[in-house]
Amino acid sequence: MKKLKIIFQALFRRLLAHWKKPAAPVVSPAAAPLPSLPVFPFPVHSGDLVWCLMPLPQKELDQIPEGHQIRPYWIAAVKADHVTGFYCSSKPIKKCPAASQFVISNAVTQIRDTHVDLRRIFRIPVANLIEPICSVPAVVQNQANKRLILQHRQNQNRPAFRFPVPLVPAPGDLLHSHGLILDCSEQSCTIVPRCKPNAEGAVGGRIINRVFYFNARQTQTLPLSELAANDIAGLADWELLSRIRLENRKTRSRTSLPKHKQNAYVRKPAPFACGQVLEDWSGQQYVFLCATRTHRYGYVYDDFMPDKLVCLKSDLIVTPERLPEDQLNDDLEALIEVQENPQMIQLLRQVQKQKDLPFPFLRSTPPRYRISAV
C-alpha cells in the first residue's frame, strides 16, 4: 500500500506541474496582403478623350490590323481600377444610327471630327490607357447628355448615364411644353411653336424619325429660368434650324419699317480721335475723321491736299502721330468743297465743329457681348 501511495503522489505532482504550466501564446496567421490597385499612367477625368488599346480579348484583338488596335475613347467614368468610355472613330461609324452618333468637332479635338457611338459603354483596364487627347468642354458634354436621355427613354437597354455637367437648353432643343429653341442668350431664349403642316409660314423637318412643323413667323421669348432641360423631346439638326432662321428673318424684314437713308450718316461713338493717323499692313497711312452707323470715314494721308473721303478698314493700326490742328482744318475744307452729297457735307461740317471735342462725344460704354449656347 505504501508503494502505491508513493506512485500516486508522484503522478499527482506531475499532473499538478502540467496544469500550472503557462499556456503557449496563440500566434495569429499573418494577414494576407491586399492587392495593390493599378496606377494610372496619367490623370484621367470624366469627359476626357483618350487614346486606348481596344478592350477586347487577345484573340479578337489579334484579328484587327495593328494600326487600328488603338482607338480614341470618350471617358464616361473613372473607377478605382478601370475606366469606362464610349468607342470613337474619325469617320462615321458603320451600322450605327445617326441618332446614336455624337460628333465632337475638330475645333475641340484639334485633330479632326470625332464620331462617338453612344449605344454602349466599354470597361477599359488601366493598362489599356495610352495617351490623353483633350478634355471635352462642358457645353459639348451637355449636348451629349441630351442624346443619352432620349436614347434611354426610347430603349431602356441603352446606357442610363449622364456626364456630370448641368443640362442647359440650347438652339435645336425641342421641348414638350413650348416648342423648338431657335436662339439662346445668357438669360433668355427664342422659341418657335409647333404648328400644322398647312399653316402659313410652316417649316418642317424630321426629328427622332418624325416630321414636325414649326411656325417661324410666331416666336416668343422666355427666360431660361422657366425652361426645364429634362423637358427635352428631341434635337433638331442645323439644317432645320437654318431654314427656320431664314424664314424668321424674311418675316421680320417684311414687317419692320424701312430705315431712312439719312440714318447711315448719323455719327456714333468712335474708337479714335479725329485727326488720328492710322496705318495698314503695307505702310499706307490714313487720317481718321469720324464713324457713322455704317462706316468709318477718313482720307489718305500724303503731302497733297485730300480729294476724297474713303471708308476705313477695321484692322488699321494706330500710330503715335496725330494731325496738327491747322492742317486738319485745311484738309476738312478741301474735302467739303469736293463733296456733292448734302448729307456728307453736313456730316463733315459736324466733324469740323466737334473735332476739338472728341471726348466726351467719343466716350462710349463697352459693348455687352452676348454668349450663345452651342
pLDDT tens by residue, 285-303: 999 999 988 889 999 998 6
| Out of 18-22, 141-145, 165-169, 221-225, least confident range | 18-22
Residue 1 pLDDT greater than 90, yes or no: no
Mean pLDDT of the chain: 82
Residue 367 pLDDT greater than 50, yes or no: no
pLDDT tens by residue, 99-116: 889 999 988 988 889 999
Specify the higher pLDDT residue, 361 or 141. 141
* C-alpha distances in Å from residue 71, one per residue of 63, 65, 88, 161, 172: 15, 12, 7, 22, 30
The secondary element (H helix, E strand) that includes residue 336 is helix 325-338
pLDDT at res. 308: 86
Q: Which of 151, 159, 162 is nearest to 208 (CA)?
A: 151
The secondary element (H helix, E strand) that includes residue 233 is strand 232-235
Averaged pLDDT for residues 331-340: 88
pTM of the predicted structure, to 2 decimals: 0.58
pLDDT at res. 362: 32
pLDDT at res. 359: 38
pLDDT tens by residue, 182-231: 988 878 889 999 999 988 888 999 888 889 999 988 888 988 888 877 78
pLDDT tens by residue, 135-145: 999 999 999 99
- Rounded CA-CA distance 323/336 in Å is 18
pLDDT at res. 8: 62
Q: Predicted confidence band at 75 (pLDDT cuts at 50, 70, 90)?
A: very high
The string of DSSP letters for 35-48 reads PPPPPPSS---TTE
